[in-house]
Amino acid sequence: MALALITDAYIDGAVAVLDSTQRYETVNPSTGEVLASIPVGSRADVRRAVQSAQDAWPAWARTKPAARGRILTAIAQRIRQQARELAEIESLDTGKPMTLALGDVEVAARYFEFYAGAADKLHGEVIALGPEYHAFTEHAPYGVIGVILPWNSPLQQAARSIAPALATGNCVVVKPAEDAPLSNPLLAQLASECGLPPGVLNIVQGDGPTTGAALVEDPGVRRVMFTGSVEVGRIIARAAADRLIPVGLELGGKSPNIVFADADLARAVEGTVLAITYNSGQACSAGSRLYIEQPVYDQFLAMLRERMSKISVGPGVEDPDIGPIATPEQFARVQSFLASAAECGASPVLEVKPEVLDRYPHGFYVGPAIYEAAQDSRFVREEIFGPVLVVGAFTTDDEALALANDTEYGLVAGVWTSNLDRAMRFSSQLEAGQVYVNHWFGGGVETPFGGWKNSGIGREKGLEALLHYTQIRTTIINLPVN
């Protein structure tokens, strides 16, 4: 079945026209051309979606976990059946190369598949209080979960939050990113066609100050999951604190990538390139700070420069190595960093390819770039969120550790070494929620993911996520003793 683009909301199991007449245009970052006119959901629109979820929740929470799992399995299968069409929409909306977009679709399917299998395996415990009591715990759903998404990987990150929330008996209201809203209503429609009851999953498009704020503040929302910037994360955390509801925050990163002299340098080069060019550098877990041990610094940097100079840049539908920056605002931000390099004390090792802009004058293209900069440079301290890598050298393990941890972020980190003792010892001291050793972007939907420090609160992915979408109920029964 061919997918028809949905540019309106999806509420109570059907495409829904919002009450708000305010709309905005979203663009194709590969060409700069307008893709669609999208509504801005009002507070009343959000209330309508949340009410639909509230109405659906009692029956969904009472549905047997195995039955919920079967619906999630069907959703995973349907996503795979429509993989090419979903990937094409994701590529148009975000500029992703088709190979990456197809990968995101498969990851989305895996989230539903994984949590389908976990739905009936979340067990409580029995607590020994003596013969006169029977005490036990159970994991209970919150009710309605509000999910606010970013624009860099909208489909797979939607699945990352929706699947565990549904598996544990919650209903969900999603606000997609303003700049990448097209795949989420389609996901909800596919879920409905797979037997998901009306109201269990709702999508309301809009902006942060209007729609996002309304979702966080709605009295029917019992938990919020947000992925995005640290600045907006703080705003959402304050709003959630006022309501005393739990919040999960997956925020920014400025992740260190440490290459020791005993590493397999060819392998480390490939991993380093992936770490900074994946999704055009638009990933919170990008390896954007590279530290190289001094004896191999010049050699490794020369190898890296040669490899990075071969990266192709172009429209996502042409499937280059990296596509455009996804939004005009982010494109301007990356350009501002590059323009201020000299002022920030950053020296170019590999500069942006200027021919990219000549070939696609209306697209948001930035080629991969490498800069050397001091630790106090803006290039080292701030998240650029583009294919811009900053490098530095170190001479001892202690110095490497100090450089790696010298940041307000703590999402991921990478270590390249052939010494297993060093790998274990060094990794255990990194202030990061996830550590890669001799690879980058390893693991999968099974591995818990989230940040330390300013990189966030809570965990997504893996069985750990189920604990964040449920709350503990403890029951103590008094048993008469004869």
Give the residue numbers marked as catalytic: 250, 284
Query: How many Å separate Cα 428 from the centre of its chain?
Result: 24
Provide the 10 A C-beta neighbour count for residue 187.
27
Task: At 293, list the tokens.
Answer: 């041990």
The whole-angstrom separation of Cα 152 and Cα 37 is 19
Distance CA 255, CA 32 (A): 30
Q: Which two tokens stand for residue 467?
A: 């604990």
Closest CA to 375 of 403, 409, 341, 334: 403
Residue 5, strand partner residues: none
Q: How far is it, in rounded angstroms, from Cα 392 to Cα 345?
A: 13
Angstrom distance (rounded) from CA 353 to CA 368:
8
Is the CA virtual torsion 423, 429, 430, 436 positive or negative? positive
Amino acid at site 310: K
**Distance (Å, whole) CA 91 – CA 104:** 10
CB 315 within 8 A of CB 95: yes
Distance of CA 305 to the CA centre of its chain: 28
The amino acid present at 10, given as its one-letter code, is Y
Beta strands in 419-482 (DSSP E): 434-437, 452-453, 456-457, 470-478
Residue 2, Cβ density class (10 Å: 0-12 exposed, 13-18 middle, ≥19 buried):
exposed
As given in the structure block, the two tokens for residue 177 are 């990113």
Q: Nearest Cα to 172, choosing from 180, 161, 184?
A: 161
